[in-house]
């Protein structure tokens, strides 16, 4: 990560954890986005990410984690998590444009 680049993983973890005693760790968040599987004890944290986190933060998060896999893979896993847990927002705009 560039010296002055925002750390979207850290910001997302903070946002997702603000109302909970236990924190969503960066490792848990990244692993979930790389695999499409959310730890059972972190579903509530991901509901916050899905429903309350600003779209720009989610886009930056997918972009940042996408450097470890591909942007498309991470966006697809995020969509899978959203479908599994349910969300009140349309997150399709987080997917990369079709080519």
pLDDT of amino acid 98: 52
How would DSSP label each residue in 20-68?
-SSPPPHHHHHHHHHHS---GGGHHHHHHHHHHS-HHHHHHHHHHHTTT
CA angle 72, 11, 13 (to 5 degrees): 85
Residue 83 lies in a domain: yes
Q: What is the pLDDT along the chain (99 residues), one digit of tens a residue?
A: 567 889 999 999 999 999 999 999 999 999 999 999 999 999 999 999 999 999 999 999 999 999 999 989 999 999 999 999 988 887 776 665 554
Residue 98 lies in a domain: no
Helical (H) or strand (E) element with 78: helix 71-85
pLDDT of amino acid 85: 93
Number of domains in the chain: 1
The 8-class DSSP code of residue 5 comes to S
Residue 24 lies in a domain: yes
pTM: 0.88
Residue 39 lies in a domain: yes
Residue 48 lies in a domain: yes
């Amino acid at each position: 990560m560039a010296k002055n680049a925002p750390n979207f993983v850290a910001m997302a973890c903070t946002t997702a954890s603000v109302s909970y005693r236990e924190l969503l760790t960066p490792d848990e968040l990244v692993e979930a986005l790389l695999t499409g599987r959310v730890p059972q004890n972190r579903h509530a944290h991901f509901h916050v990410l899905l429903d309350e986190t600003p779209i720009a933060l989610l886009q930056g998060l997918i972009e940042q984690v996408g450097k470890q896999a591909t942007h498309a893979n991470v966006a697809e896993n995020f969509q899978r998590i959203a479908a599994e847990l349910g969300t009140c927002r349309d997150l399709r705009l987080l997917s990369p444009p079709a080519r």
